[in-house]
Structure 1
Amino acid sequence: MGTFRFILGPGAALAALLAAGAALGRGGDHHDPAPASDNPPTIASSLPESLAQPAEARDALAERGFEFGLKYIGETFADVSGGLRRGTIYDGKLRAALDADLDKAFGLTGLAFHANASQLHGRGIDQFYTGALMPVSNIEATPTTRLFEAWLEQNVAEGASIRLGQMGADQEFMTRASAEIFVNNSFGWPALAIADLPAGGAAFPLSDLGARVKLETERFALLAAIFDGDPAGPQGAFESPDPQRRNADGLRFRLKDAPFLIGEGQWKYSIDGLDGVAKIGGWRHFGVFADQRMGADGLSLADPASSGVPLRRRGNFGLYALVDQQMFRSGARSAGAFIRGEVAPNDRNLVNFYADAGVSFRGAPARPDDLFGVAVGYARVSSGARGLDRDAAAFGNGFAPIRSGEALVEATYIASVIPGWTLQPDLQYIRRPGGNIADPRDPSGVRSLRNALVVGLRTLIRY
């Protein structure tokens, strides 16, 4: 069973997830709150016949087991207050995907193939304007054309499957149907994993070679996966420090880095006819991580006498839990809510605690296909990183800011223009961007970045 495509809204999407059982593997896209059905609406039905014909050809191929999808997400965001500086950006993602039912196509029983690639352009708002720990956009990436996923999945028994290939862990682990509509990347792959894992982990825009097994019954599911632990590989002598540039095309298939393991258990339930799912999981990385505060010589890294070489910590891990619950369902109208938390060790991680929660709604009297949601997130800077700040203040500027944590509120609305085309105004308020880092424009080094207000508009076209 692959990651599902949601547009039915928080309640209906969650119901579809719970009822899907051991369906044939399909690739998903958590950047698109698209239909949980196999045939999401496209703009082809609204186009002239000459432009709709390729979609008709696609339907004919689907009858033979091959399904193609083309999707464009474009967005503009403006930092109107606070952060590093004010400014406006545009970025976009053109995604092409193929799902193949190899049983239908070639008689290979229970075997499926999925691949997707994206053309990424523009520039993101965080690096230049907000300085946030929780990325404003879930499509923000270094401009390039990159393969994201290419995998085979074999159903080996009822409710049991194995997946092998290039995969994103964010497509199946820690997911919540009620959070699909939000734009901030942390409501998908959480800020703790983004900050603490090499290259942000096997999550968009980078993926990694791996294997995943899944066992599922009507009420319970177990997932476990192993990945190469660094999607970009360590930085070479003449390579970019940006991991996305080191693996610019997604074809750097690595199998020689320390492994990354992740596992999750799921319990699906119903309360008064309203479906819910509770998940608990954890990950383990077997690589070496730098201590956030202490040097290999036993001195603080902020001490002028220190060698500046961090103490090496072997291995890393994180634990998480979440609940995703339908709150209301009546005809086409529905509502859902989620809450999630994750923890990791203090000494080797920038972020040691992350939590988010939110509600989302589908349907209004005059606009039954529209969606609305409000969510909050919090990323706490670890005591190791905070201790380094205190040491730096003691050895230098005693009035310098001490990092603590970053908080976020997002409100978003998805309006259906025509089938297959949506517009999404979005508002995000970021408190203590970067976790309360110093403002680089302040020569005294005592002023923190001001709270940031970001407004944006996203469009999604599915063909």
Structure 2
Amino acid sequence: MDKAQYLSREILRCVFLFFPLLLLGADHRISQASRQRHQAIREHYKGTERLGWWEGRTMTGDWEGRLTKLARMGITFDSNFTTDIAANPVGGQAKGFAYAGSYGLSLNINCEKVGFQGLDLFSSAVWRTGTSLSQRKIGNQFPVQQVFGSQTVKLNELYLSLAAWEEGILIKAGRLDAGNDFLASPLYSRYVNNGFNGNPVAVFFNVPFTAYPNSTWGAYLFCRPYQYLSMKYAAFNANSDVLKAKYHGVNFTFQSTNGVLWITEWCALVNQEQGASGMPGHYKVGYYYMTGDEPKFTGGKQRGDQCLYFLFDQMIVRQGGSLSTRGLTSFISLLLAPKNRNLFPFYFDAGLQYRGLFPGRPDDYLSLGYIYGKYSSTQARVQRSEGKEAENFETVWELSYWAQINQWFYITPDLQYIVHPRGLHIPNAFVIAAQIGFDIW
């Protein structure tokens, strides 16, 4: 048996062995930048140094060299567990406590070893448990626990990707999460409130935009023609029905209930070229258009829906040398959509995040964030005409500290203050929370 046949056989064995496990796994850190993460895992296993349990990359180590062997064949795994524990001792509809957990697993098969340069097969899944403090006790709109949602076993992404031109072009096709590639930033993952974490949450209330742990059929193109500019384009099947928990992520129908979601995002990269000494920043402008008929608050339907959005982040203080990643970064997000058929026609969030504030803690993050979501004034007029209380706005303040204990374990104490929950006369709520995460494989 030649080398190519041997590698092909081992890849197939690995897929059939681990695919059932994929139906049991993933959290927010599996959801974004999957290609870069698995590339880093392959690079890690190229080395010969083996660290102890506490100093290692993951909690379970190298499995006596088995993961190294697989990684050198192009097969890598990423698995973690995240839990959000939260209580509201003040405010809300009632005082209470809630736990939510998310176990995740992803598999990436790099096909370079069998002659397909730049081709990868990727899949991820999730097993979520627990309850929502926002739903059960507070009654607010923007969930205070980011890992709550689709509390079941669910297949997430399953796609092929092809990279070319030294990663300057990337194509993906299959079951995709729109939120992994659009309306996203690594800065958001350091927060616990779901208004920040992942994507600016208003988009999910406005259109069937998919994000971890939900996916849909789609095709995606990334290109970076210059070091200072990147462009993204994608089309997704806009079907909110297939996202229901009862399908467990395996409803593969192409039928669409809301047409096609077309989206593009352009990013100006400041001080991102290799060796740049200035403070880095990202300035993104995006637009999406959904082709289906959308119900209007005043009755009837209107063809199509759309949104213009802006995501900016910029390091403003650097601690250390010109290439140091420690320092203070600011960000803002702004989403604008038609008010006659979108729950949140205006959504804004902003934050400050300091990496490595304290000596000897280079991978800790101190984060302060603010969210303002304005409910549709058209909906409010309809609510008042029906004798109902009109929803106005909801605001969130959040302060958190991501403490990276070692490479595979972190704890994030978190405080949140919810103002005007769900835009109604619900008492403002104070939330004490903690997020704990482990990288298992």
TM-score bracket, normalised by the shorter chain, equals 0.7 to 0.9
Provide the C-alpha distance between the structure 1 equivalents of 2:54 and 2:245, rounded to a whole number of angstroms. Answer: 39
Identify the match of residue 384 of structure 1 among 369, 378, 395: 378
The answer to whether the 8 Å contact 1:43/1:420 transfers is no
Aligned counterparts of 1:342 and 1:189: Cα–Cα separation in 2 = 11
Equivalent runs, 1:256-267 vs 2, <5 Å: 256-257=255-256, 258-267=259-268
Give the alignment partner of residue 292 of structure 2, picking from 287, 304, 310.
Answer: 287
For the aligned residue pairs, the C-alpha RMSD in angstroms reads 2.7
Q: Which residue of 1 aligns with 2:10?
A: none
Residue of structure 2 in register with 1:461 after alignment: 438
String of CA shifts for 1:427-454, please: whole Å, max 9, x gaps. Answer: 1111111122xxxxxxxxxxx1111111
Match of 1:409 among 361, 372, 397: 397
Q: Aligned letter for 1:245?
A: A
- Check conservation: 1:232, 1:252, Cα contact below 8 A: no
- Which one of 412, 416, 438 corresponds to residue 424 of structure 1? 412
1:245 aligns with 2:233: no
- 1:191 matched to 2:184? The reply is no
Among candidates 423, 428, 439, match of residue 435 of structure 1: 423
Query: Structure 2: how far apart are the matches of 1:171 and 1:347?
Result: 28
1:107 and 2:115 correspond = yes
Residue by residue over 1:211-232, the C-alpha shift from the partner in whole angstroms, topping out at 9 and shown as x without a partner, is: 0011113111110111110143
Q: 2:359 aligns with which of 365, 368, 374?
A: 365
1:253-288, Cα deviation, whole Å (9 max, x unpaired): 231211111110111113971011110011111122
Among residues 313, 322, 333, which one is paired with 1:340 in the alignment?
Answer: 333
Distance 1:379 1:101 in 2: 41
Q: Distance in 1 between matches of 2:171 and 2:231?
A: 12
Structure 2 CA distance for partners of 1:391 and 1:51, relative to 1, 3 Å: closer
Long gaps (5+) in structure 1: 1-26, 234-242, 296-310, 394-399, 437-447
Tell me, in whole angstroms, the C-alpha distance in 2 between the residues paired with 1:196 and 1:347.
Answer: 11
1:52 to 34, 38, 61: 61
For residues 280 and 31 of structure 1, do their structure 2 counterparts lie closer, same or farther at Cα, with a shift above 3 Å needed?
Answer: closer
For residues 373 and 417 of structure 1, do their structure 2 counterparts lie closer, same or farther at Cα, with a shift above 3 Å needed? same
Residues 43, 315 of structure 1: CA spacing in aligned structure 2 closer, same or farther, 3 A cutoff? Answer: farther
User: Structure 1 106/161 Cα, relative in aligned 2: closer, same or farther at 3 Å?
Assistant: same
- Structure 1 CA distance for aligned equivalents of residues 132 and 59 of structure 2: 36
Secondary structure of 2:101's counterpart equals strand
| 1:153 corresponds to 2:161 | yes
Aligned to 1:238: none
Deviation at 1:143, TM superposition (A): 2.2
CA distance in 1, matches of 2:237, 2:211: 12
Shift of 1:35: 7.8
- Structure 1 counterpart of 2:100, from 77, 91, 102: 91
Secondary structure at 1:46's aligned position in 2?
coil
TM-score, with length taken from structure 2: 0.82
CA contact (8 A) 1:74 1:92 kept: yes
Q: Could you tell me which amino acid in structure 1 is paired with residue 251 of structure 2? A: R
In the alignment, which residue of structure 1 is the partner of 2:25?
none
Deviation at 1:75, TM superposition (A): 2.0
Distance 2:371 2:261 in 1: 25
CA contact (8 A) 1:93 1:121 kept: yes
The TM-score normalised by the length of structure 1 is: 0.78
Alignment deviations for residues 99-147 of structure 1 (CA, whole Å, 9 cap, x no partner): 22111x3110111121111111111222212222222222112321111
Percent identity between matched residues is 26
- 1:278-321 CA-to-partner distances (Å, cap 9, x unmatched) read 100111111222111x23xxxxxxxxxxxxxxx11221111101
CA distance, structure 2, for counterparts of residue 155 and residue 277 of structure 1:
22
Determine if the alignment matches structure 1 residue 325 to structure 2 residue 333.
no
Q: In the aligned structure 1, how far is the partner of 2:185 from the partner of 2:349?
A: 11
Q: Report if the CA contact (8 A) 2:177-2:214 is conserved.
A: yes
5 Å matches for 1:63-212? 63-103=72-112, 105-158=113-166, 159-187=168-196, 188-198=198-208, 201-212=209-220
Task: Give the distance between the partners of 2:270 and 2:325, measured in 1 at CA.
Answer: 21
Identify unmatched segments of 5+ residues in structure 2: 1-28
Deviation by residue 1:158-191 (Cα, 9 ceiling, x = unmatched)? 5122100111111111112333311222213223
Distance 1:140 1:246, change over 3 A: same
Q: Which amino acid in structure 2 is aligned with residue 313 of structure 1?
A: Q
- Aligned positions, number: 390
**CA spacing shift, 1:378–1:43, aligned 2, 3 Å:** farther
Preserved CA contact (<8 Å) 2:188 2:199:
no
Distance verdict in 2 for CA 1:338–1:47, change over 3 Å: closer
Rounded to whole Å, the distance in 2 between the matches of 1:194 and 1:460 is 25
